């Protein structure tokens, strides 16, 4: 099964810019950017970001405003602030080198268990499994044969499936298999390199449909429009601040979209508490945070 996955990956790997390096800092940045961002778009953004901040010292010495401007278009802007804080910790606590142990990595701001394991596997080639949604689904269906295994036991099983000396390629390969074939809905089992081995693929489509479809489907509630969310509002505020000259105060005294002034002021307060913006005494005038 390992051979089937790796041989397929060798011929069909997605050509993503951040896969051309195993530099630990570059890998950490790519993993943070790739959270909640499509792979191709993440690769393009990573190329720009790593050119501007090629080392932890370069990012840590930049102002929050500079980093937030560089993060434009990636969403979840708190990730930019956390990544800058991680860069400062790497410089102050690890001599400017990304640590190579799980415990040290997860102590960095904004670095969770998945990101830590991804850095260990891709940058340091350690035999650990980075379990994002795609990889977990591939392993559960094809290797474990069960998605109800407790998390700690599943992690141990997944670690054991990492081919010795191939952790980096294995991680990328499973991501691509999950994205191309082992999709949550309408998986392309017939084209998957694991077809001959996978218990899930051996089931008939009729059986899978019977097992997965409820007898009386529950109507889905319509999702709220993105424009009505606080996340959308925060993004519009930050975009307006990014467009302002560095250090210039911007006044917010009217609605934005369908968010009234009170909602706008609440969002400004949240952004200030997240250390992304500075507010003046009026609470209406703000600018991107210039010092950290």
Q: How confident is the model at residue 204 (pLDDT cuts 50, 70, 90)?
A: very low
31 is catalytic: yes
Asked whether the predicted pLDDT for residue 217 surpasses 80, the reply is no
Rounded distance, CA 25 to CA 96, Å?
A: 9
Tokens of 112: 């969770």
Rounded distance, CA 12 to CA 4, Å?
A: 12
CB of 242 within 8 A of CB of 69?
yes
| Residues 171, 237 within the same domain | no
| Residues 125, 65 within the same domain | yes
Q: Provide the whole-model pTM.
A: 0.83
| Residues 271, 128 within the same domain | no
- Confirm whether 247 is domain-assigned: yes
Structural domain harbouring 242: 226-288
pLDDT 10s digits, 232-242: 898 899 999 98
What CATH number has the domain bearing residue 256?
A: 1.10.10
Q: Give every CB contact of residue 14 below 8 A, 6+ residues apart in sequence.
A: 39, 40, 176, 179
- Confirm whether 96 is domain-assigned: yes
Rounded distance, CA 234 to CA 271, Å?
A: 8
Tally the domains of the chain.
Answer: 2
CB of 84 within 8 A of CB of 60?
yes
| Residues 278, 166 within the same domain | no
Quote the pLDDT of residue 205: 47
Minimum mean pLDDT range among 14-18, 93-97, 100-104, 211-215: 211-215
| Residues 279, 168 within the same domain | no
Angle between helices 230-243 and 261-273 (to 10 degrees): 80
In angstroms, the Cα distances linking 113 to 28, 147, 170, 182 are 12, 19, 18, 23
In angstroms, the Cα distances linking 119 to 10, 113, 156, 194, 195 are 21, 10, 18, 26, 29
- Confirm whether 208 is domain-assigned: no
Given the residues 11, 31, 44, 211, select the one marked as catalytic. Answer: 31
């Amino acid at each position: 099964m390992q051979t089937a996955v790796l041989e397929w990956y060798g011929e069909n790997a997605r050509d993503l810019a951040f896969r051309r390096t195993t530099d630990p800092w570059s890998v950490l940045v790519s993993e943070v950017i790739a959270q909640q961002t499509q792979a191709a778009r993440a690769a393009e953004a990573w190329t720009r970001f790593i050119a501007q901040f090629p080392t932890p010292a370069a990012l840590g010495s930049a102002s929050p405003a500079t980093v937030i401007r560089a993060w434009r278009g990636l969403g979840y802007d708190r990730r930019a602030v956390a990544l800058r804080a991680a860069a400062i910790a790497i410089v102050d606590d690890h001599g400017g080198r990304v640590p190579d142990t799980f415990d040290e990595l997860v102590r960095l701001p904004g670095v969770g268990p998945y990101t830590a394991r991804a850095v260990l596997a891709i940058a340091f080639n350690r035999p650990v499994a980075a379990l994002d949604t795609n990889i977990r689904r591939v392993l559960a269906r094809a290797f474990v044969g069960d998605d109800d295994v407790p998390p700690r036991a599943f992690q141990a099983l997944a670690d054991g499936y990492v081919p010795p000396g191939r952790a980096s390629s294995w991680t990328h390969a499973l991501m691509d298999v999950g994205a191309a074939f082992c999709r949550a809905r309408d998986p392309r089992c017939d084209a998957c390199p694991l077809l001959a081995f996978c218990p899930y693929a051996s089931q008939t489509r009729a059986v899978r449909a019977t097992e997965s479809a409820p007898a009386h489907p529950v109507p889905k509630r319509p999702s709220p429009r993105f424009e009505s969310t606080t996340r959308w509002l925060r993004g519009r505020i930050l975009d307006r601040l990014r467009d302002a000259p560095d250090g210039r105060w911007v006044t917010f005294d009217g609605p934005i979209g369908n968010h009234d002034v009170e909602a706008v002021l609440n969002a400004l307060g949240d952004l200030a508490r997240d250390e992304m913006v500075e507010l003046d005494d009026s609470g209406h005038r703000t600018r991107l945070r210039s010092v950290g």
